[in-house]
Structure 1
């Protein structure tokens, strides 16, 4: 019996990952920040799939709340860190407070969370997947802070993978391009059509497609894969 923690489980990618893992028989810890109604609905779907699921509320823009998540977890075989917030605008207009929130949720909180759970993962030869972004690989104008913290996630993955390899813990990342989730709601239909026109496959990714990539990296099919970033971007910017 396997147990996975999914942070940001109320979001599009987190929710799809939860359902994908549940269909494979995984039991789940479902972290969320404020969207309890989405988690309640997800819990009902997971119950129908016959798996156990435990909701955990915490605001991961505040690193001191990482302990709320850690203290709720007993057995753990996998971590999927999909929490995140986006930001848009010229770098010179970015406020320090918003930079701190971005750094906390994308860098400091996952580092503290994973650090605290590593002993349990080592006991189970577990795996970690961080949901990063294409902008962490190539950088994006008007998303400088977001690109920076997503790039930091990828460096963390490469470094920790080398450190933990002999302990049986694998850590990888997925780097989605444009995904049809609520994060795209800030774009107009015209802007979305323009983005689709730039993607060789001509469409946005679905959250289920990203979730399938996450599952692969958690699974035994990826037993010799660690320290890698799997780009899920339809050929965009490659």
Structure 2
């Protein structure tokens, strides 16, 4: 049975990934920060399917986030999915050091610390995967989200570099880069802003969470062993 850790499992994308994983013979370690109700719901679904979800609580914006997770995780994992994150909108010159530090911790420093910890054992396994949920802004940059774009770009650079280091093993390292996806975050947009955003996307609509999950499942498939260091865009042709 595979052991899979999903950070940000209480968010829309992370939770959907966990729900999809419950269709397999796996133990899912589901990370959350404050939204325990979402994890309780996942555990209820798992129980109905005779599967197991283990709650892992940690603040990934903190410098101790990775260690908080490690204190609640097994010594080895087969799959590590980094889906935790948040954004900060606004002009860069109006940003604060605290905002920047939090973004870099949750998107870069703590995911790298977790990956470094589990890497030695993953390199010995006949199957192992690391997947980041990055962003189109990590590829192209987004105005008013300079810090978030920087953090997501850091994820992409790390994926490409680590994939080269580990390519001769059975570990693959990849990232999904979603564009505008229908989540509680996008429901906060005004109708005017939502229409303007939709018009800017060549596909003419926002993406669905299930489409992001499908991309993750592709990377997890054993048949995708030769795919590593890849950034899979799920954005309807929206390169900002």
> Taking structure 1 as the reference length, what is the TM-score of the superposition?
0.96
Counterpart for residue 118 of structure 2: 117
| RMSD over aligned Cα atoms | 1.3
Within 5 Å, which residues of 2 pair with 1:76-155?
Answer: 76-124=77-125, 125-155=127-157
Instruction: Compute the displacement of 1:208 (Å).
Output: 1.3
Q: Distance in 2 between matches of 1:60 and 1:79?
A: 15
Instruction: Compute the displacement of 1:160 (Å).
Output: 0.5
Q: Provide the secondary structure at the position in 2 that maps to 1:173.
A: strand
Q: Distance in 1 between matches of 2:197 and 2:239?
A: 11
Check if 1:35 corresponds to 2:35. yes
Q: Distance in 1 between matches of 2:93 and 2:83?
A: 27
Q: Distance in 2 between matches of 1:26 and 1:196?
A: 37
Q: Provide the secondary structure at the position in 1 that maps to 2:114.
A: helix
Which ranges in structure 1 are unaligned for 5 or more consecutive residues?
none
Residues 134-153 of structure 1, C-alpha deviations (whole Å, 9 max, x = no match):
00000011110010110010
* Of 139-148 and 22-31, the range deviating more from structure 2: 22-31
Q: Distance in 2 between matches of 1:91 and 1:187?
A: 21
Match of 2:182 among 160, 180, 183: 180
Residues 171-223 of structure 1, C-alpha deviations (whole Å, 9 max, x = no match):
00000000111222442122112111111221111111101111111111211
Q: Distance in 1 between matches of 2:119 and 2:69?
A: 14
* Of 47-56 and 3-12, the range deviating more from structure 2: 47-56
1:43/1:219 CA distance change after superposition, 3 Å = same
Q: Distance in 2 between matches of 1:15 and 1:221?
A: 24
Check if 1:49 corresponds to 2:56. no
Counterpart for residue 219 of structure 1: 221
Q: Distance in 2 between matches of 1:218 and 1:63?
A: 29
Q: Provide the secondary structure at the position in 1 that maps to 2:177.
A: strand
> Taking structure 2 as the reference length, what is the TM-score of the superposition?
0.95
Q: Provide the secondary structure at the position in 2 that maps to 1:162.
A: helix
Q: How many residues are matched?
A: 238
Q: Provide the secondary structure at the position in 1 that maps to 2:124.
A: helix
Which ranges in structure 2 are unaligned for 5 or more consecutive residues?
none
Residues 30-55 of structure 1, C-alpha deviations (whole Å, 9 max, x = no match):
01110001110111112222211110
Q: In the alignment, is the contact (CA less than 8 A) between 1:70 and 1:117 conserved in 2?
A: no
Q: Distance in 1 between matches of 2:238 and 2:49?
A: 35
Structure whose residues are more often helix by fraction: 1
